[in-house]
Structure 1
Amino acid sequence: MIDSDPNNEMRWEVSNIRDQDEAEAGIMPSQTVGPYVHIGLTLDGSEVMVEPGTPGATQVTVSVTDGDDHPIADAMIEIWQANEEGVFNSPLDPRTGEQATAEGFRGLGRGMVDENGAVTFTTLVPAAHDDEEAPHLKLGVFARGMLERLYTRLYFPENDNSTDPVLNAVPESRRHLLIAEKTDNGYRLDIRVQHENADRETPFFGL
């Protein structure tokens, strides 16, 4: 369980040592990602992947909560996606090839959540990259207490996602957790990193 509830007691005893020379030598606790996971990774405006008003632009809000449904207020979300033609800005995409540059639509966005555990991206609705996978966003979740980022996906409700092989690898009872909700301004996906009810916990993928 991630310590995201400020009303609970800390899991570890709080040390009164104020000088490192006062600390005894010994085995240190295991290292985790936080609490400074976002330092050096975020940049002002990195959640704005296209300017508002760009043809095809939309807003995508992602929220992150823990197993007690409390917002994880220091989480960082990373998006990687294709453009409106289904092309990734990467040399690994043969349709982009060596012409991939940081100019234009990068397909990469990062954003820190607010006190409610949510961040909103301004981006393009992607097209399908190939004939197998439905249009989607690849999401990475970083947060204090996580040893590694969590990988998941966001699918769009207006598309036929029934034949997507990655979505079909998820138990049928949980597939809806990866399909965004349509909102007045765009889309929203609520990510739950833990839950005692497995049917409410967001599916994550091992890469």
Structure 2
Amino acid sequence: MSKTTPSQTVGPFFHFGLTDTYEADDLAGTESEGERIVIEGHVLDGDGEPVPDCMIEIWQANAAGKYDHPEDDQDKPIDPGFRGFGRVATDPEGRFHFRTVRPGPVSGRGNALQAPHILVQVYARGLLKQLVTRIYLEGEPLNDTDPLLNVIEDAAARHSLIAKNKGDGHYHWDIILQGGNETQFFEA
């Protein structure tokens, strides 16, 4: 009688394996156009405890709202100084941060204008596959009409995607992996 092979999780991630070659917390560099911002926060489990062995990847449009990707056919300029992709590991207290530029609005399905946002993938122990979500920025007027935000009926789930403006270009956004305050995740 044969048995099914047990599934494996995607973590933990060992920080010594995420060398400078693979870790990229600065998407903007010195030559990027646009307003510089910092996204910082924590990854927390369902009990509010930090997750110290997690990897976070982000990707986003540049300040003009253009992705540096062959499938982005929007008539907007590419910023050669902007990376558009970042990857970091959480520290022992579950903290992470990215330095980037405020993304511009992008066209979505049917050319519906999407609010500026940052796409996020979370890899952590205990997960069978990565979690996918988005970061929106507090105070952005287009949040009110964003097609994805507006299909999320639960106000707390919508609120979990909004990074809090701490002033001086700094935003705080926590990723909560489970429980009553869980971050809204999407199927990818």
The TM-score, its normalising length taken from structure 1, stands at 0.75
> Gaps spanning 5+ residues in structure 2: where?
none
Partner in structure 1 of residue 163 of structure 2: 180
Amino acid of the residue matched to residue 177 of structure 1?
A: S
Amino acid of the residue matched to residue 29 of structure 2?
A: E
Query: Secondary structure, in 3 states, of the residue corresponding to 1:78?
Result: strand
For 2:172 and 2:151, the matched residues in 1 are separated by: 22
Partner in structure 1 of residue 185 of structure 2: 204
Matches within 5 A, 1:74-93: 74-93=53-72
For 2:49 and 2:85, the matched residues in 1 are separated by: 27
- Give the alignment partner of residue 111 of structure 1, picking from 75, 88, 110: 88
Amino acid of the residue matched to residue 92 of structure 2?
A: E
1:105 offset after TM fit, Å? 1.1
1:36 offset after TM fit, Å? 3.7
For 2:103 and 2:176, the matched residues in 1 are separated by: 24
Partner in structure 2 of residue 46 of structure 1: 24
1:56 offset after TM fit, Å? 1.4
1:52 offset after TM fit, Å? 6.3
Higher alpha-carbon Rg: 1
Matches within 5 A, 1:1-207: 29-36=6-13, 39=17, 43=21, 46-51=24-29, 55-95=34-74, 104-130=81-107, 131-160=112-141, 161-173=143-155, 174-185=157-168, 186-195=170-179, 197=180, 200-207=181-188
Query: Secondary structure, in 3 states, of the residue corresponding to 2:160?
Result: helix
| 2:43/2:51 contact within 8 Å kept | yes
Query: Secondary structure, in 3 states, of the residue corresponding to 1:183?
Result: strand
1:43 offset after TM fit, Å? 3.0
Amino acid of the residue matched to residue 115 of structure 1?
A: P
1:118 offset after TM fit, Å? 1.4
For 1:172 and 1:94, the matched residues in 2 are separated by: 33
Task: Mark the CA change 1:117 to 1:45 in structure 2 (over 3 Å): closer, same or farther.
Answer: same
Structure number having the greater strand percentage: 2
Residue deviations 1:169-203 (CA, integer Å, cap 9, x gap): 222322111111111451111111101x2xx1111
Query: Secondary structure, in 3 states, of the residue corresponding to 2:171?
Result: strand
Residue deviations 1:98-139 (CA, integer Å, cap 9, x gap): x979x5312100001111111110101001012421110001
The TM-score, its normalising length taken from structure 2, stands at 0.82
Q: How many residues are paired up?
A: 177
Percent identity reads 38
For 2:73 and 2:14, the matched residues in 1 are separated by: 33
For 2:163 and 2:134, the matched residues in 1 are separated by: 10
